[in-house]
Amino acid sequence: MKKPTYTFDQFLSYFPEPALPMLLNEEAIQTFSRQNKPLPGPLIEQFSAALQEGPTDEFTEFVACFRLKNTGPMYALVYWKAHLLSHEYHLATFTREGRLIDRRGLAGTYSDGESLIRSVATIEEDWEIIVVSGQSHNGRFQASDSRTIQLEILPDGNIVDVQ
């Protein structure tokens, strides 16, 4: 049996366009999972090269979260990827034809087995992104290990650190 083929427009239809600002934290994924249509397996397979950052296996889960409005010549999509020891939000930008421009991890929970890193991100109306990360060792948060970074989506779709 032949697998279904999806267009990029069909892929985009799984990403609603909510109002900004948007907070990406551990609780937000429950809302996205409940309110958004699940991505079909064949669609994930077809577009997985664009969504992959790091390893995937049969236990890897993807959730379409949202896309940014009024992005001109490109699309900016936020999705959630979960696999062993990692649950993370990613931002990917695409040309209107569906070619990947850039991709960046934004927020989530990551573990190396010894320490736990948690980060949250806020995407503002002007496409600026603030990411705050903290780390705990053996269940204890280390304030000195926390950091804030600022990202921006440029009009050409590149995602850059703001100095």
Structural domain spans, the chain: 8-161
Each residue's pLDDT tens digit, 86-109: 899 999 999 999 999 999 999 999
What pLDDT score was predicted for residue 56?
62
Each residue's pLDDT tens digit, 129-143: 999 998 887 767 777
What pLDDT score was predicted for residue 46?
81
Each residue's pLDDT tens digit, 14-66: 999 999 999 999 999 999 999 999 988 888 878 776 776 655 667 788 899 99
3-class secondary-structure state, position 12: helix
Strands (E), the chain: 22-24, 61-67, 74-83, 86-95, 100-111, 115-123, 128-137, 140-153, 159-161
- Distance between CA atoms of residues 50 and 101, nearest Å: 9
Token pair, residue 102, equals 């850039």
For the entire predicted model, the pTM comes to 0.89
pLDDT: is 123 or 141 the higher one? 123
- Distance between CA atoms of residues 8 and 130, nearest Å: 29
What pLDDT score was predicted for residue 86?
85
